[in-house]
């Protein structure tokens, strides 16, 4: 009685896994059908290798049992095709004789998890199938855990972004002239990054780093931040603390670690005369060098209480003049190319965020 209950449980468990067997000998498939049905596995048998490839493409299978010597295609050719669209399928290769097995190199390259010789007894194959199912079960569990962790990480990421976004708005609420500034610096930085062919990950870092590059101004007294007349040397020294303050704020959350170099070093200059660390040339983090160009461009093209915005041709001249001193020449040239040949993108960014500023005022 107890033994019968155990068989039912095994069959229910095994039935959760779908197996496809591919062999041009129907007798082999019939034997496998009997063997695997007895142990509760869900098996689909196919004699045509091309049909097998199509079935795997159209349906989900956990395990493939595959004959090596078939016509018109051998097993390794079938796997070659399948691996183009399915990297996860667990594959066991059957060979008529060990001398007819594909080279070990081929087995590794195609990620064939195991093979065994054909025999009248299926004991070895059954053991391999059971081992395969255990591996597949573990991979399912790992994927489930990864999905759960990914969901949790995304929730934390969203929460962190919302907190820092609140701080950013607090900074911009202090000074009406800087509203929209961080959005534009972020957008310009992304344009430059795309022009330079950077990865999606770097583009994302530029986008978020640009948004929060001035977050440290939350720690600068309003009397200095909003002062309309010329700053004293002491006041200017305090203003120069904002990159370090911003980096410190973001350092408490590991999610922002890639953005911190942008926040801390966007006021460094290529010739080493910038702040806070007086880094020079390639000592300055590459993404911070991009943000520096974007930040300076927005500063020159934005209206301030003490001056009007500069004309585009004047700004282009300034960027040209400061190549190699204030700006990385490669990055400056990339942005100049955008300004001269694709200025509509710049205008679109300015219109988008200037409209938002107008609505806020």
Would residue 217 show up in a list of annotated catalytic residues for this protein? Answer: yes
Q: State both tokens at 138.
A: 């573990």
State the Cα–Cα distance between residues 164 and 160, nearest whole angstrom. Answer: 6
Catalytic residue among 118, 217, 240, 280: 217
The DSSP symbol for 120 reads S
Contact 20, 64 (CB under 8 A): yes
Contact 297, 315 (CB under 8 A): yes
Collapse the DSSP code of 93 into the 3-class scheme (helix H, G, I; strand E, B; otherwise coil) and give the result: strand
Q: Which of 335, 292, 297 is CA-nearest to residue 195?
A: 335
Contact 132, 64 (CB under 8 A): no
State the Cα–Cα distance between residues 158 and 20, nearest whole angstrom. Answer: 42
Collapse the DSSP code of 122 into the 3-class scheme (helix H, G, I; strand E, B; otherwise coil) and give the result: coil
DSSP per-residue codes, 242-295 = HHHHHHHHHTTSGGGTTTHHHHHHTT--TTS--SSS---GGGS-HHHHHHHHHH
Q: Which residues are catalytic?
A: 217
């Amino acid at each position: 009685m107890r033994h019968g209950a155990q068989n039912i449980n095994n069959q229910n468990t095994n039935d959760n896994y779908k197996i496809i067997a591919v062999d041009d000998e129907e007798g082999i498939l019939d034997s496998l059908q009997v063997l695997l049905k007895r142990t509760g596995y869900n098996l689909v048998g196919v004699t045509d290798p091309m049909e097998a490839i199509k079935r795997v493409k159209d349906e989900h299978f956990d395990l493939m049992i595959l004959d090596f010597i078939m016509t018109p295609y051998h097993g390794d050719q079938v796997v070659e095709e399948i691996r183009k669209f399915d990297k996860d399928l667990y594959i066991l290769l059957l060979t008529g004789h060990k001398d007819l097995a594909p080279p070990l190199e081929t087995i590794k390259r195609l990620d064939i998890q195991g093979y065994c010789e054909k025999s009248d007894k299926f004991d070895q194959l059954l053991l391999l199938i059971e081992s395969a199912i255990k591996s597949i079960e573990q991979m399912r569990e790992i994927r489930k855990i990864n999905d759960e962790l990914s969901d949790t990480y995304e929730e934390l990421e969203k929460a962190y972004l919302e907190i820092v976004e609140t701080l950013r708005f607090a900074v911009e609420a202090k000074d009406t002239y800087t509203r929209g500034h961080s959005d534009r610096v972020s957008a310009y930085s992304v344009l430059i990054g795309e022009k330079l062919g950077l990865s999606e990950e770097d583009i994302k870092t530029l986008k978020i780093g640009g948004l929060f590059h001035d977050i440290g101004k939350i720690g600068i007294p309003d009397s200095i931040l909003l002062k309309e007349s010329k700053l004293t040397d002491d006041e200017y020294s305090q203003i120069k603390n904002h990159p370090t303050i911003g980096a410190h704020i973001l350092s408490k959350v590991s999610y922002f670690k890639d953005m911190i170099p942008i926040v801390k070093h966007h006021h460094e200059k290529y010739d080493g005369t910038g702040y806070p660390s007086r880094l020079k040339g390639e000592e300055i983090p590459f993404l911070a060098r991009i943000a520096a160009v974007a930040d300076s461009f927005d500063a020159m093209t934005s209206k301030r209480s003490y001056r009007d915005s500069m004309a585009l041709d004047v700004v282009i001249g300034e960027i040209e003049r400061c190549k190699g001193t204030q700006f990385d020449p490669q990055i400056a040239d990339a942005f100049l190319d955008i300004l001269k040949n694709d200025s509509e993108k710049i205008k679109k960014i300015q219109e988008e965020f200037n409209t938002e500023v107008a609505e806020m005022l």
